[in-house]
Each structure stands twice: as structure tokens, then as C-alpha cells.
Structure 1
């Protein structure tokens, strides 16, 4: 398969794992991905008030991974723009682009990346999401030489033209990306329902821009690859249970192992499993077939995979398997 592959890493801290160790593992995986030469980019996502995710300070983590690698593109998948001023994000990613030219991506999301109580702690205006299209354009202006705010410039940032990507799990982001002529990434790794409609709207309504002459659509999915099919399925079940535990934690529940098992068959557990329905599980050949079918089904120009297998050695091996696809 010649379709470009990329990686979405949530810098996940497993039960009993420290934040430091989770970050060090993400650095090692980025280095492994770069060593294979197969992956276009690695992105980190902004989430807040989630103890299992260590990428809250997204630009800081991206800078650290950029410094630990030499060629792979590293970026945000994404920065939740309603949580920030466009000027500050332009300064942060402009700094990264000056330090690591040609290697920085900036994916932008409209959701807060957290719950309403945490959003209040971030001191954000609940109406900020309504300004997302305007904020994207303001940010784009700061990163070019054409600021939309008279007299205000991003230093660093001015003239870096850090490429912007619109992220989404609904048709809103698809239509915005099309209207602005930006690449679009759909989060089908956790929100698969609107995938086909979003991809269709994006391609139908795309308007060429200075950044992009033709539409570029990225579809995300989960991949659980191993040398043995039975091992891959066992890892799949582990990942599902970890996801149920993490999602319950977001709701304030700290489940025991027994409670996780009980939850798997409940409406909540089935909902979590549905969220992960776009998952390739199996050996190299089985994963390759799934990815090719998924690409053909979605028409994606690029696939972005999560690699949520527990254990560094197994995650490294999964990357080695993916690199041969």
C-alpha cells in the first residue's frame, strides 16, 4: 500500500505508569517511527483534566519530540483553538517552526477537549467555539505576512506559514476546511458515525487556497498489530478495557478490574466499543487488508493511526509491522 501513513499519539499513561514514563515512551515511539522512514508525521492531542493523557501542554510536548527527532514532521492533532488566543498559538508554533523549519504541523479543533467544569478552570468564554472560523483565519494571518488585526503581528510566527489542518468529528469541520482550502482530518478513531458524509462534503465543497490546491483528506483509525492473530485479538480486548476505564474516569468513576469487566456489556461499554469500531486488528497481512479497504471506502489521501497497545516493546513492534504495509 502506498497511501501515506501517520501517527496520532495521546501520550497515554497506563495504570501505574508515571507521566514522565509515558512521555519518554512517546519520544521513543516517535524515534522508532522516524527510523522506519514510513510515517509522514506524528501528532499529539490537547486534552485537559485526564490523568491518563500526558499531552495537555501540547506545544511543549511537540517541542520536546521535535528536539529528539531529526526528520519526521511533528504537530498538534490538535490544538483546541477555543481554549487559546490565536496570537499565543501563532507565537508558540511560530517559535517551533523557527527552531525546526519544515517539520511543524498545526491541527486545529473546535471542541474544548475537556468537560465544562474544566473549561471554566481554563478561564475560557463558553461562546468561544462560535468564533472558531474567525479565529482560524486570524491565526492563519499571524503565520503569514497578512495579519487580519491591524498593527498586531506574531513574533515569532510572522512569515513561517506553519501549515494548518482542520480536525473534526462532524460535518462542520469538513465544510470549514473546504471553504478555507485547508487539509481536513476526520476523527474516525473515536467518532466514526459522520465519516462518509464529512469526507463527501469536504471534497465536493473544497475551494483552492494559497496553502492547498487540491483537497487533502486524512482519516484516523486505530491499529492493533502483532505477529500472531490471537495475540492481536488479546491486545484488542486489553485496549477496549483500558478505554472503558479511561472514559469512566472522565465521568468521575474509578473502576476496579471487576467493574470494568461488568461494564463491557452495559450500554456504556458498548458505546465505547462502538467508538472504536474503526480498528484494524491482526497480523501484518490482516492489517494491510483492513487499511487498504478503509482507504478505498473513505477515499482518504492519508491515514492516521493510533497505536494504543499497552507496553513499549509491543508498540514498537506494531510500528515495525505497520512500516511494511
Structure 2
């Protein structure tokens, strides 16, 4: 096993455009662009946005529009989806949207795809999903989508994605189970695992992916990106306090109470029950929270255990300046600008 170091692999950002208590989606989207501009300067590799619906704390529901906004306000960083939930959309629409983005920002757009709805069942229905849109037909939808970008040679398709056809938009499969791991291995595509909220199946999924990987025109060898929650502050105590915003967000999900991202609290123990605490700590088990030295040690351990080719970092931090500070400290401890 190669002794991989955090300084040797790319670091990327997964941003959920958090809407904080007392604020608006408009300011969240401005903060997202501000973070992306700083991330570009600090040496981050990609900046991905996620599709979620009916969530009062997340502003990136119209994901491809936000990708366009971020790409227009930056110059070199790759911008993409982490991910677009394919069951919610006609593959033709996705091909046209990402073909448009690639035409506007050539060589900078990534298309990460998931098969979950990114919402609750009622919202899924409202997204005009017909029967059979539960993700079971994901391989067929993916095949259709890829054919719009790369039509079979010699054929003259009756439906064409313009823009889209002939463009190289890297497709990633995202997942939190073995399904996407096996599919991305079979197709020779890069794979990203959602360990920032579903860590339990991470190592088996990575093993499945690597053991079953078939080289393709896209990739000669497997390429796995692992998602981690990272919050860095000057001290362990301050970082742990900042992390209580995300803990409260997960607590709300467990209690079926959605809402904006809440300010950090001094004593989270007063808010959750022992059962809720255990559940949330398990869900958020793939986290590195603390001072730069604490976080560096934890990330080195994660890279060793997973042998990740890239880490993508999420940080649900209430205060925008503290969020910027966290990502700046992370870039410094990983020495991104020196690599």
C-alpha cells in the first residue's frame, strides 16, 4: 500500500450554499461565489454544488444555474455537480444544460450524477417524476445521457443535444452504497462516495469499485474521491463549537424539522438525547474537526485508510467568515499552493 499523504492529492469543495437563520438565499448564493473565488486562489481543485429540494437551509436546488454563476465568477477552478440527481430530470435536459455550461466554460465543468431523489417522496412527486423514477432505471438513463454527448459512430440520432453533442463533460457517479460503485467500475468512470453523511459502507464500496474496475476511454485506472466534513479553527474548542451548527442540522433531519442553518451553541449536550447523539455521531463519523494539527492528523489517517485519490470537503459553518477561515487553514495545512 502506497503511503499516500494529504499533500499529494487534490482537495476539492462540496458546497451546499447554506441558508443561515435570519438570512436569505440571495446572500447564500453570494457567499457561495465568494467562497469559490477564495478557493480558486487557495489552490482547491474543484468546487461542486449539490441538488437538494424542499430544504429551507440549502440554496442550490437549481444546481446547473448556480454552477453557471460560480463558473462565470471564477477563472480556473473546475465547477460541477455533486451531484445532479438523474431520476429527477430527463437525460436530454441534463445533456443540454451541461453542454451549455461546457460551451461557456470549456474544460472546467464536471457532471457528478446521483440516483437518489435529493428530497422527500412528496417533493419527488412534485418534480414531475413518473412511475419508475425511483432510481432503478438509473443505468438506462445514464446510457441515454452519455449517448447525447457521444452518439454511436455512423448513426444519425433523431434527437440531438445541442449544445452537448461531441463535448467532453467528465461524468462522475456518486453514491453511498455498492450500486454506484459497481456501475462506475463496470463503465470505467470516476467514483465519489458520500461518506460525509453515510460513512458505514465506504470501505466496502471502495473495494468493490477498485476490484471490479474496467479500464475505459475515460480512465485507465480507478479514481475514487471521498467526501469528508472538515472544520478547522485556531483551537479544537472553537472548531467543535462551529461544528454544532451542522449537528443541529442533522438533529432537525432526524426530528423531521427542516429549517435554516442555526448558529453554533455552547452546549450541544442540552439539545440532543443520548440516542440522537449516537446516531448523529455515526452519520458524521467521517469528519475532521479541530485545530490545524488535529485536522491534519485526522486527514492523514483518512487518506491512509481509504487510499483516496482526492478528498472533497464539506463544511456547514454558520458564519461565512469562519467558513472562509476554515477552508484557508485547510489549504495551508495541506499546502495546496505548493503542490
Confirm or deny that 1:139 pairs with 2:145: yes
Question: Out of 271, 278, 282, which is 2:286 matched to?
Answer: 278
Cα distance, 1:262 vs structure 2:
5.4
CA–CA distance in structure 2, aligned partners of residues 24 and 88 of structure 1:
26
**Would the alpha carbon gap of residues 41 and 269 (structure 1) be closer, same or farther in structure 2, given more than 3 Å must change?**
same
**CA–CA distance in structure 1, aligned partners of residues 129 and 18 of structure 2:** 25
Q: Would you say the 8 A contact 1:248–1:254 is kept in 2?
A: no
Asked if 1:122 corresponds to 2:127, the answer is yes
**Conserved? CA contact 2:245–2:316, under 8 Å:** no
Contact 2:50 2:82 survives alignment (8 Å): yes
Question: Retained in 1: the 8 A contact 2:10–2:310?
Answer: yes
Number of equivalent positions: 321
The Cα RMSD (Å) is 2.1
Contact 1:8/1:306 (8 A) holds in 2: yes
The 2-side partners of 1:281 and 1:8 are apart by 16
Q: CA deviation at 1:254?
A: 6.6
Alpha-carbon distance between aligned partners in 1 of 2:92 and 2:257, rounded to the nearest angstrom: 34
The alignment's TM-score, normalised by the length of structure 1, stands at 0.94
Kindly indicate whether the alpha-carbon contact (under 8 Å) linking 2:84 and 2:113 is maintained by their aligned counterparts in 1. Answer: yes
Secondary structure of the 1:224 match is: strand
Query: What does residue 16 of structure 1 align with?
Result: 22
**How far, CA to CA, are the matches of 1:252 and 1:14 in structure 2?**
15
Alpha-carbon distance between aligned partners in 2 of 1:158 and 1:112, rounded to the nearest angstrom: 26
> Partner of 2:323 in structure 1?
315
In the aligned structure 1, how far is the partner of 2:165 from the partner of 2:258? 45
1:86 maps to 91
Matches within 5 A, 1:206-217: 206-217=213-224
Cα separation, 2, equivalents of 1:205 and 1:185 = 15
Residues 51-70 of structure 1 aligned to structure 2 (within 5 Å): 51-70=56-75
Residue 215 of structure 1: CA displacement?
A: 0.5
Where does the alignment leave 5 or more consecutive residues of structure 2 unmatched?
1-6, 335-339
**How big is the shift at 1:272?**
2.5
Q: What secondary structure is seen at the aligned counterpart in 1 of 2:45? A: strand
1:145, distance to aligned residue in structure 2 (A): 3.9
Question: What's the counterpart of residue 197 of structure 1?
Answer: 204
CA contact (8 A) 2:232 2:330 kept: yes
Distance 1:155 1:41 in 2: 26
With normalisation by structure 2, the TM-score equals 0.90
Match of 2:159 in 1: 152
Superposed displacement of residue 31, structure 1: 0.5
For structure 1, list consecutive stretches of 5 or more residues without a partner in the other structure.
Answer: none
Q: Does 1:113 align with 2:118?
A: yes
Kept in 1, the 8 Å contact 2:239–2:291? The answer is: yes
